[in-house]
Structure 1
Amino acid sequence: MTDTTKRPATRDRERTRQAVLTATGQLLQERGMRFSIADVAAAADISKGGVLYHFPNREALLAAVVEHAIARFRSEVMDHTDIAENRAGKLLRGYVRALCGGSEEAIRTFAPFTHWAGIEEIPEIAELLRADAEWWRTALLRDGLSASRTHTVRFAAEGVAAAIASDVSYITDDELALTRAALLELAEPAPDGSDR
């Protein structure tokens, strides 16, 4: 078998895998944890065996969806981080920009975790979420601002993202703009180098 005959099959497998992950993510948003492998197969327009070829069971599928969401979220935050900002709080400002209206993808990726009640009861997923929280904690604390300021801004930005993602008009455009500006200001080092 030559390289050229292997590539299309690999692309088809990857497309199928992505279709399964997308379908599962949509089902999680629509139904929470109330869906089966057969539901995923129907939503992805493949056979149940096709789903099981890529993911041996529901827990492995859910873990892959969470891993994918974690990677997408990190990527979105990095896309909103200005690497030219050579001062403390650079990553935290990217986090605020992404979650406070700068990235629909980041909000969609972050917000589902608030709606997927019960997913953290799967041990592998609980570990993924713990590791991701620790990764963010470490990365943001290395960003140069105090822990109290970093945590306050981070958790406020996450609350804003949850408000934006809700189906009700909890936060207006004006409130969002004011809050985003205030959080970005809090994520800046003081001119005198103190941590206000």
Structure 2
Amino acid sequence: MQRDAIRTRRALLEAAERALMSHGPQVSLEVVAQDAGVSKGGLLHHFRSREALLRALCEHWIQQYDDAVARHLEPDDGRPGRFCRAHIKASFDPSIGDGPWRNIGVQSALLAIPGLFEHARINGRRWENEMGSDGLHPQRVLLIARALDGDSMTEMFDAGSDDGERVELRDLLLALTESNQPLI
């Protein structure tokens, strides 16, 4: 029974993600439920409201990113910048994909949900603190963190961004972690 609930919840989150991509941020719960193969009542059993579903979806995306960082964290890497390297690699990890979180309309709708903007800020600070926790010079951490934020915004506003430029950016950011002196 518990496994079915977990499986249904996951199916609903995946359906919500697809529905957001297809129908935009005002997608109805009926569309999400139908896509997941459950009734609207079944959806409401797991998520009491549209807002609760969208909150859970944001949590799911944050968890996907945290999982990607964990996958890219090298256990034998004791050099300064270990967390920065993991965050850089996670930010460019194809398994994260081009989901609705990279859509400005979806972002705008999500940020209108009470408390979600603050939650996003808290996670952003957590990630920056994590990147700054392993001895890399703070100037390098600041530049890397802001470049990753900027790349996310570029992806959101420029759907036709150049993959070659993104690979180059990833490599430049990784190179910043290979030295620990101040930049200026």
TM over 0.5, shorter chain: yes
The residue that corresponds to 2:55 in the other structure is: 63
Distance 1:163 1:18 in 2: 29
Map of 1:176 onto structure 2? 166
For structure 2, the 5+ residue unaligned runs are none
Q: Give per-residue Cα distances to partners, 1:35-78, cap 9 Å, x unaligned.
A: 11111111111100000000111111111111111011011012
The partner residue of 2:14 within 12, 17, 22 is 22
Identity among equivalent pairs (%): 29
Confirm or deny that 1:80 pairs with 2:75: no
Structure 2 matches for 1:1-196, cutoff 5 A?
9-100=1-92, 103-108=93-98, 111-112=101-102, 114-116=104-106, 117-160=108-151, 167-168=159-160, 170-173=161-164, 175-190=165-180, 194-196=181-183
Q: Against the structure 1 CA distance between its residues 106 and 144, is the aligned structure 2 distance closer, same or farther, given a 3 Å change threshold? A: farther
TM-score, normalised to structure 1, is 0.81
> What is the CA RMSD across the aligned residues, in angstroms?
2.3
Amino acid in structure 2 at the alignment position of 1:10: Q
What per-residue deviation string (whole Å, max 9, x for no partner) do you get for residues 16-52 of structure 1? 1111111111222333311111111111111000000
Aligned length: 181
Contact 1:93-1:184 at 8 Å conserved across structures: yes
TM-score normalised by length of structure 2? 0.86
The answer (yes or no) to whether the contact 2:21–2:99 under 8 Å persists in 1 is no
Letter paired with 1:143: D
Going from structure 1 to structure 2, the CA distance change for 1:144 and 1:85 (only over 3 Å counts) comes to same
Q: Any idea what the Cα deviations from partners look like across 1:140-193, whole Å, max 9, x if unmatched?
A: 12132233321211232344455567541x2143x3333222111112233xxx
How far, CA to CA, are the matches of 2:147 and 2:126 in structure 1? 18
Q: Gaps spanning 5+ residues in structure 1: where? A: 1-8
**Residue aligned with 1:126, SS:** helix
Quick one: distance in 2 between partners of 1:112 and 1:27? 14
Q: Which has the larger radius of gyration?
A: 1
